[in-house]
Amino acid sequence: MIRVGIVGGSGYGGAELLRLLLPRPDVCVELVTAATSAGQRVDALYPSLAGRTPLVFEQFDAARFNGLDVAFISLPSGEGMKVVPSLKGKVKHVIDLGGDFRLQSPETYQLYYKHQHTAAGLLPEAVYGLPELNRNAVKNAWLVANPGCYPTSAILGLLPALVRGVVEEKGIVINALSGVSGAGRSASVEMSFTELNENIRAYKVGNHQHIPEIQSVLSGASGKDVSLSFIPHLVPLTRGIYSTIHATLKQRVSTDEVLALYESYYKDAPFVRVLRQIPQLRGVTGTNYCDIGLFVQERTGQLVILSAIDNLVKGAAGQAIQNMNILFDLPEEKGLNG
């Protein structure tokens, strides 16, 4: 039995963790914390969980996690680093769904996240939890930095082409569309229905916090200095990430050849599906899959990559559980194919 605690269970990511973990007979969710909802029943906040759990949200107390196998941290960036140090030595494994341990440089973190890193000493101990890239490293980690939703879509889309040297490392352009659940549950005017409905807008152009994450991971994997433009857009959908990626080809290659390369690269990746058609968000909604489509544009000499994920599953809770499965030497798909 894997004994689990969730820190920050009242947000969308925490709710997805509960939805996916509660049906598993090999997992026991023993406690869930949420500062603003402490004392409230979990199923009162999320009626879809009625009859599935008697848990009540608690205030965070590190001592309550003593002896647990896994602590999932589902907090906004800047909050995870406040609690993770207190869990070291108490919990066997910590999986952080926020951004606090994804970047190895505290200076870069401060530049993009706009606050100082207060647990920089733990950064060298964190393993970037993209299973398709770091599966073996995750197996031996106590602290797993779960990738961001945008980076998951972009990195999985680009990895084979960059690692195999098919495209240029410079001048990559990523345009990504996100559903509004990626912004969390906090209320704001700009996230209200009347502002979002029948509207699309870009945001954080050129300074989004996921830019260094995407660049550093792809640079490390390819062994080359990767540079790219990343423009996120908010669309009036609840969930989903859809990325359109343009990269310049290094040599003439056909669409079929690139598809074969991707199929070979991801042959042991159960949650990456290389499609011979255009991916759709509805094909991945509620699942842990990343669907990838590929098209060579001979006229421009570019490779166009289309990548779709559910931001709350493969982009957050599902990938975190995939990492948990790896930590406990379980099939990656366990609890994620329903």
* Residues with catalytic roles: 149
Give 52-116 as a DSSP string: T---B-B---GGGGTT-SEEEE---TTTHHHHHHHHBTTBSEEEE-SSTTS-S-HHHHHHHHSS-
Neighbouring residues of 270: CB distance < 8 A, sequence distance ≥ 6: 332, 333
Neighbouring residues of 257: CB distance < 8 A, sequence distance ≥ 6: none
> Which helix (H) or strand (E) covers residue 297, if one does?
strand 290-297
Sign of CA dihedral 218, 221, 224, 225: positive
Lookup: tokens for 311: 């931001």
Lookup: tokens for 153: 């879509």
Give 215-232 as a DSSP string: HHHHHHHHTS---EEEEE
Residue 79's alpha-carbon distances to 5, 76, 113, 129, 134, in angstroms, are 16, 6, 12, 19, 25
